[in-house]
Every structure is written in C-alpha cells, then in structure tokens.
Structure 1
Amino acid sequence: MIPMPFLPKARQRGIALFVGMIFLLVLSIVAVIAMRGTLSEMRMVTNTARHETAFEASEALRSIPVALFDEHVYARGWPVSFKGDVPDSEFTYTTDVPSALLDEAKKALQKDCSTNAPSLFYGQLQPACGSTKAETLYDPSTWRPDMVVAICDTGTQSCAGNIGASVAIVPDGTTLSKGAGGAQAAGYRGLGVGSANGGAEMFFEIRSVATAPGDGAATTHTQYHQMIH
C-alpha cells in the first residue's frame, strides 16, 4: 500500500465572513431606501389629508356669511344682537339660520378698523387704518377679514386642534336688473314696469382662507350675486 502524500491544511482567510458582511450591508441599504420611501408616502398622505381638511373647512365656513347676506344687505346693517344698530325684529335669522350657526356668526363677526362698528358685508373697500393698508379690489392680500370662524377638529377626541377660517368680503360692482333701465326711462310705465321691481344686482367677492392642524391650509374664492329689490 502506497501511503498518500501529506497535504497541508488550507489557511482560512475569512472569506465567508466578508461575503456575509457585504450581504448585510446591501440588505441594510435596501431596508433604508424602502423605509425612506414609506416615510415619503406617509408624508404625502398626511399632507393631502391636511389640505383636504382645510379645504372642506374653507368651503363650509364660507357658507356662513352667505346665509346672513340677504337680510343683512336688505336691512342695511346688523341686528342689535350682533352689536349693530338695527332692531332684531327686522331680521328672521332665528328661523332661517340654525341657532348653532347663528351663535358662531355673532362671535365671528369682525369690527371695521376705522369705525369700530361691526363690519358691513356690502360696505365700501376699507381705507388705510394705522399700519393696515387700504383694501384693493384686485389685491386679495389687502382684504381684511369680515368674519373669523373657528370650529372643533372632529379628528381629535379632546378637540385640542382647531380648524379656523378668515372670511373676507369685498363689493365688486352693481348693475341694474334687466328691463329696469328701460322702465325708468318710460316713467315706470309700459312693458318694463315688471322688471323694474327687480331693482339692481350686486356682486361680491368672497375669499376664505382656512387652516387645519399640522400646517394644513387652503383658500377658496367665489363671487356672490345678490338681487336687490
């Protein structure tokens, strides 16, 4: 029997450990990238939710002054209960507007800087007052809030976060109703007399800027058209 030659043991150089560390590093990088992608998606979803909350608040709170518009303009002022100078008997707010909305409107109504009286929706653009710039029709950043409304955030059980909106209203022109001009020229006689009862049409710009918890913000802008009889 021929003896096998003696073979020396191969030296282990730690190649398996090195390969394992490489795989661990690659997996760590993949995990970090996946986590960053997930966090980015969470931020996007959160920002979208905050914007939607603010947008819904802006749309909803903008309806508060619209609900009060007709009687306020018709009576040319605010009722005494709103700290105005028109008797409450001239208004039907208590039957036309929900009591909760009415209470919120009373607290939300702002004062005119120059007169210290409740702001009039149909009033002229307000002049400069102290360090406050004069209102300019085509520069919404100069419009002063006529109402500042705050409601409870329904997404929190403790109502710790509030959703608010500042609503600014500025007049945007007046025009006679169709047929009114001809009726006036005819001395309110003839075919135009019926249209003359329509009086005039007034236009207002309504801008609502809402904020929601988490730096959510949204702005809605619309034009309100009112018939004046």
Structure 2
Amino acid sequence: MRTYTALHSQRGIALFIGLIFLLVLSIVAVMAMKGTLVEMRMVTNSARHESAFEASEALRSVPINLFDEHVFARGWPSSFNGDVPDSEFDYSSTLPADLLAKVKTALQPDCSGKTSLFYGTLQPACGDLPKETPYDASTWHPDMVIAICDTSSESCSADVGAKVAVIPDGTVMKEGAGGAQAAGYRGLGVGAAAGGAEMYFEVKSVAEAPGNGAAITHTQYQQTIRN
C-alpha cells in the first residue's frame, strides 16, 4: 500500500510538471508568433510606403512633362477642355498615348470652373477647399488627380493615384537679358525676348497606394522661357 501511494504521487507530479512545461512552451510560441506578425506588418507597411513614394515621384513628373508647351502656349489645348487649338501642341511625342488619355481627364477645374492653369494665380477659397497661400502646402488645390496601374498587380486590378498641386513661385529675367543687365548683371546684353526668363513652380504630389500606403513629395521646378 505504501509503494502504491508513492507511485501514485509521483505520477501526479509528473503530470503537473508536464502541464507547466506545456504552458511555458505555449507562451514562448505565442510571443514568437506575435513578433513574426509585427515584422510582417513592418515589411508590408514599408512596401506600401515605397509603392506610394514611387507613385508620387512618377505622377509628379507628369505635369512637368507638360510644362513647356502649356506655359509657352499660355493655356491648354481644346482636347483638354482648354482655349488653345490642338495644333499648337505636340504632346503625342513626349507622352505615351495611354498616359495622355488619362491626363486629359485628370486636370481639375479651378474655382471659376475652368481647367486649372499651372502658371495661374493662387486660388481663393471655394467649396471645401481653403484659400491657397504660397508657404502652406496644405492649402494648395489639386490641379491634377491621376491614377496609374500598380506595377505589382499583374491584372492591373489595383491602382496607385496621386493629387498633384502646382503653384507659381516667381519669375526672373535670365542673366544677360536686357532687364537683368539693367538690374546690374553682367552678360550678353541681349534683349529680354532673346535672353529669356525663368519661371519657378512648386510641385507637390500626394500619392496613395493599395493597402493605405501614402507618401508626399515636394519639389521646385525651374522653367526657361524663350521667344
């Protein structure tokens, strides 16, 4: 009877110790799983941010490709709902056809209801948009809202989009132009029309990628205007 009791007690202790080990291993496994999930979320968030950043950079370059002809012709072509004849533009040689088709519908109206001009004046408050101020990028109205196929999606079922805002940031005469020379610059001394002028723009692109990825890029664009 004593021997049986001792064996019975030992079996009970072994079961209790086994349960403790099982509990400890379960806690370790849960902690390891939690760490893995956190790392997966970090990697996913990083990938979404990179996707949004690439989209912001790529879509920010779209209006830059349009600047020269748009500013030189002082408006948009009629096919873009503008006031300038299409014959004054040659976008087909600088932009792919599919991207050009998106741009035509991506341009946004300004507060007067006309297609927004990149070189136009700062807009007043209208609708739910605040008054534009040059040093507060959060007040800039979107001049273009465009989306392209997400390159990570084979079926192109997902898009990455961006809201691009452009505001003028000043105009100066180039060195050597008549007006600049009169201001004290030394140069060729040619007329202002031949010497040209430089226009500056601030360009902000706010991009969104599938999975709540977001990124903002901001740059200054310098354009030389010549006759």
Amino acid at match of 1:166: K
Determine if the alignment matches structure 1 residue 17 to structure 2 residue 20: no
Q: What TM-score, normalized by structure 1, do the two folds share? A: 0.89
* Cα separation, 1, equivalents of 2:119 and 2:72: 10
* Cα separation, 2, equivalents of 1:194 and 1:168: 33
Which residue in the other structure is 1:192 paired with?
Answer: 189
Which residue in the other structure is 1:80 paired with?
Answer: 78
Contact 1:183–1:196 under 8 Å retained in 2 = no
- Secondary structure of the structure 1 residue equivalent to 2:195: coil
* Cα separation, 1, equivalents of 2:162 and 2:79: 23
Please, which moves more after superposition, 7-16 or 101-110?
7-16
Which residue in the other structure is 2:57 paired with?
Answer: 59
Of residues 78, 100, 103 in structure 2, which corresponds to 1:102? 100
Contact 1:206–1:221 under 8 Å retained in 2 = yes
In our comparison, the structure showing a higher alpha carbon Rg is 1
Contact 1:204–1:224 under 8 Å retained in 2 = yes
Determine if the alignment matches structure 1 residue 153 to structure 2 residue 181: no
Please, which moves more after superposition, 156-165 or 215-224?
156-165
Q: Structure 1: which 5+ residue stretches go unaligned?
A: 1-6
Determine if the alignment matches structure 1 residue 69 to structure 2 residue 63: no
Which residue in the other structure is 1:169 paired with?
Answer: 166
Contact 2:208–2:215 under 8 Å retained in 1 = yes
Of residues 209, 221, 225 in structure 1, which corresponds to 2:222? 225
Q: What's the CA shift string for 1:15-46, capped at 9, x where partnerless?
A: 00011001001100100000000000000000
* Cα separation, 2, equivalents of 1:50 and 1:88: 39
Give me the CA root mean square deviation.
2.0
Q: What's the CA shift string for 1:111-154, capped at 9, x where partnerless?
A: 112x2111000001111224421101111111010000011223
- Secondary structure of the structure 1 residue equivalent to 2:45: helix
Which residue in the other structure is 1:3 paired with?
Answer: none
Count of aligned pairs between the two proteins: 219
Amino acid at match of 1:178: E
* Cα separation, 2, equivalents of 1:30 and 1:183: 73
Q: Structure 2: which 5+ residue stretches go unaligned?
A: none
Q: Could you tell me how far 1:177 is from its partner in structure 2? A: 0.5
Pair 183,20 (structure 1): closer, same or farther in 2 beyond 3 Å: closer
Which residue in the other structure is 1:42 paired with?
Answer: 40
Which residue in the other structure is 1:137 paired with?
Answer: 134
Question: Counterparts of 1:88-127 in structure 2 under 5 Å?
Answer: 88-113=86-111, 115-127=112-124
Determine if the alignment matches structure 1 residue 203 to structure 2 residue 197: no
Q: What TM-score, normalized by structure 2, do the two folds share? A: 0.90
- Secondary structure of the structure 2 residue equivalent to 1:193: coil
Q: Could you tell me how far 1:110 is from its partner in structure 2? A: 0.7
